[in-house]
């Protein structure tokens, strides 16, 4: 596979045919578009090659993007899982959003052989006529991005991606490489992990061996497994991080986009042994398995100077219930000072913890009014509980909706299960809560592993936050293969987040 390199350019004047300002608007018409991945879909006979579908807002059609799309520098291969990770930003400043897609299990040809699961990342450019066929496509492997690094088997380059614009409007992209082996002092640590960080024309690799980056380089840390970011901060999860003797306890590193010495600025490391953080670091907790960020505006500021960071810990044991899971929300300031605002598990929500619930496998946090001083009324947190049983269906899954800044975090708790809060019928092994994303207006709940007879290929529901609150009745929008212009095909349709 040959993949061309990529260099991020500084923003240019928006084209007259595109309207900048909407964060997911690939044709630049000012209407939000919806990205729905199916990373285990069969493409041209290649199982789990993966694809992404984009539903253009305003009824302007559906685009399908895969490695079979014209302009791609690679072909669909079994197990690539194109679409495993996704993010959006306006890379070239033309007013049309561009789509970033990771294929972490892509095999890369080298010296007559193949580097298995080395991984690749693609940027598909939006245009005034849409995205997909006819779009400019840029793809790269790790070494093509940064000639000072190597593309190696099992690096999983692109396992996570996060893109956006900094506070001054410069585009940035973070690529997680959790399978990277890192060498320190002559010793190589397997799967220690790293990230590739791009801001404007700057490209740099960052790992825990770099100055002031929290944590020590250790085997199986998997630094870069999860990512989150805003215009001022980004966070990197290392759920395999050992804390003391507790292996795979997990940790999170928070950075500022401010470049110092050629690197983004490390601000603080978080783990469950940190000052003011509830719980204790235990083997297998997986703190940082999932991350989400949103802006936070203090009362003495005129902008979102701080950030709220949600962290999922799905392997947390609660009382004697193995892998019951939990989540936490932190406020992080530009100085790196942090405050844990909420620590959440089943007990905190007035329930008996259940083994195998895996609460926190996915989290998403949203500030519904970033133009005002942040209050408890404007922040929403959705926490996936994919192993939760209903009275009739084992592992049907659920999504908990919380107001994490409330004095009593569970006081306004809502539970979304199929048939109660979500359309459809809860079915065994649906694992509802495995696919979550959100913005200031909507919550996106995907059920890519649906076993229900009406959605065996997966489904995505889009719920306005105000509907969940009960203040409006706009209604849930449902995307389903075979309806609304979507092909009647899929294996894990509805993968988001």
CA distances from 101 to 45, 106, 462, 474 (A): 21, 12, 21, 31
Establish how many alpha carbons lie within 13 A of residue 157's alpha carbon, considering only the half-sphere containing its beta carbon. 27
User: How far apart are alpha carbons 371 and 297 in whole angstroms?
Assistant: 8
Decide if pLDDT at 142 tops 70. Answer: yes
Q: CA 9, CA 95: separation in Å to the nearest integer?
A: 14
Predicted confidence (pLDDT) at residue 2 exceeds the cutoff of 80 = no
Structure tokens at 17: 């045919």
Q: Are 228 and 292 in contact (CB under 8 A)?
A: yes
How far apart are the C-alpha atoms of 111 and 256, rounded to whole Å? 39
> Over 80: is that where the pLDDT of 204 sits?
yes
Find the farthest-apart pair of alpha carbons in the chain and give their distance in angstroms, rounded.
61
- Give residue 454's pLDDT band: very low, low, confident or very high (50, 70, 90): very high
423's tokens: 């359309």
Q: How far apart are CA 33 and CA 73, in angstroms?
A: 25
Q: Which residue has the tokens 């076993």?
A: 451
Q: What local confidence, expressed as pLDDT, does residue 12 receive?
A: 40
Mean of per-residue pLDDT scores for the chain: 94
Supply the DSSP string of 445-495, one letter for each residue: EEETT--STT-TTBEEEEEEHHHHHTS-----EEE-TTSTT--S--SSBTB
Cβ-contact 233, 164 below 8 angstroms: no
Nearest to 165 by CA among 99, 227, 232, 259: 232
* pTM to 2 decimal places: 0.95
Of 123, 118, 93, residue with least CA distance to 108 = 118
Percent of the chain at pLDDT exceeding 70 = 96
Is the per-residue pLDDT at 19 higher than 90?
A: no
Q: Per DSSP, which regions of 345-397 are E strands?
A: 363-367, 379-385
CB burial of residue 99 (10 Å; 0-12, 13-18, 19+): buried
Which residue, among 111, 146, 186, has the nearest Cα to 5 in the 3D structure? 146
The label of the residue with tokens 């789990």 reads 48
Q: Is the pLDDT of residue 116 over 80?
A: yes
Tell me the per-residue pLDDT of 411-453, one tens digit each, with 9 for 90 and over. Answer: 889 999 999 999 999 999 999 999 999 999 999 999 999 999 9
| pLDDT tens digits along 182-195 | 999 999 999 999 99
**How far is residue 141's CA from residue 122's CA, in Å, rounded to a whole number?**
9
134, two tokens: 């006819």
Q: pLDDT exceeding 90 applies to what percent of the chain?
A: 89
Token pair in block for residue 342: 């909420």
- Say which residue the tokens 């997986």 belong to: 286
Placement of tokens 């990770």 in the chain: 85
Q: Is the pLDDT of residue 4 over 50?
A: no
pLDDT for the residue numbered 21: 66
């Amino acid at each position: 596979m040959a993949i061309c390199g990529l260099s991020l350019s500084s923003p240019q004047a928006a084209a007259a045919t595109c309207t900048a300002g909407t964060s997911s608007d690939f044709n630049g018409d000012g209407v939000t578009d919806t990205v729905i991945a199916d990373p285990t879909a069969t493409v041209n006979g290649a199982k789990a090659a993966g694809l992404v579908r984009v539903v253009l807002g305003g009824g302007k059609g559906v685009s399908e993007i895969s490695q079979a799309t014209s302009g791609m520098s690679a072909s669909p291969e079994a197990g690539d899982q194109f679409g495993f990770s996704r993010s959006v930003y306006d890379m070239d400043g033309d007013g049309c959003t561009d789509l970033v897609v990771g294929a972490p299990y892509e095999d890369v040809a080298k010296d007559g052989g193949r580097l298995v699961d080395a991984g690749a990342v693609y940027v598909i450019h939006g245009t005034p006529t849409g995205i997909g066929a006819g779009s400019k496509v840029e793809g790269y492997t790790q070494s093509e991005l940064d000639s000072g690094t190597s593309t190696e088997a099992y690096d999983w380059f692109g396992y996570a991606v996060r893109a956006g614009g900094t506070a001054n409007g410069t585009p940035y992209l973070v690529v997680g490489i959790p399978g990277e082996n890192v060498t320190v002092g002559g010793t190589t640590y397997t799967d220690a992990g790293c990230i590739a960080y791009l801001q404007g024309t700057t490209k740099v690799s960052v790992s825990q061996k770099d100055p002031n980056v929290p944590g020590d380089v250790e085997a199986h840390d998997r630094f870069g497994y999860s990512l989150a970011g805003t215009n001022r901060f980004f966070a990197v999860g290392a759920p395999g991080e050992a804390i003391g003797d507790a292996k795979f306890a997990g940790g999170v590193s928070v950075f500022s986009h401010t470049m110092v010495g050629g690197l983004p600025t490390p601000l603080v490391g978080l783990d469950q042994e940190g000052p003011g953080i509830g719980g204790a670091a235990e083997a297998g907790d997986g703190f940082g398995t999932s991350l989400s960020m949103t802006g936070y505006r203090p009362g003495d500021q005129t902008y979102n100077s701080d950030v709220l960071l949600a962290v999922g810990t799905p392997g947390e044991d609660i009382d004697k219930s193995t892998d019951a899971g939990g989540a936490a929300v932190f406020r992080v300031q530009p100085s790196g000072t942090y405050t844990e605002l909420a620590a959440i598990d089943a007990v905190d929500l007035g329930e008996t913890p259940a083994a195998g619930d895996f609460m926190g496998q996915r989290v998403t946090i949203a500030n519904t009014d970033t133009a005002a001083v942040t209050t408890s009324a404007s922040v929403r947190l959705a926490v996936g509980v994919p192993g939760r049983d209903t009275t009739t269906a084992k592992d049907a899954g659920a999504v908990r909706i919380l107001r994490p800044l409330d004095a009593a975090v569970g006081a306004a708790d809502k539970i979304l299960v199929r048939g109660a809060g979500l359309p459809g019928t809860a079915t065994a092994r649906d694992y509802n809560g495995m696919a979550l994303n959100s913005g200031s207006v909507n919550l996106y709940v995907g059920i890519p592993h649906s076993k229900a007879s009406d959605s065996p290929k997966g489904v995505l529901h889009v719920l306005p936050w105000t509907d969940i609150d009960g203040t409006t009745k706009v209604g849930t929008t449902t995307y389903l293969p075979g309806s609304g212009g979507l092909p009647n095909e899929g294996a894990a349709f509805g993968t988001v987040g």
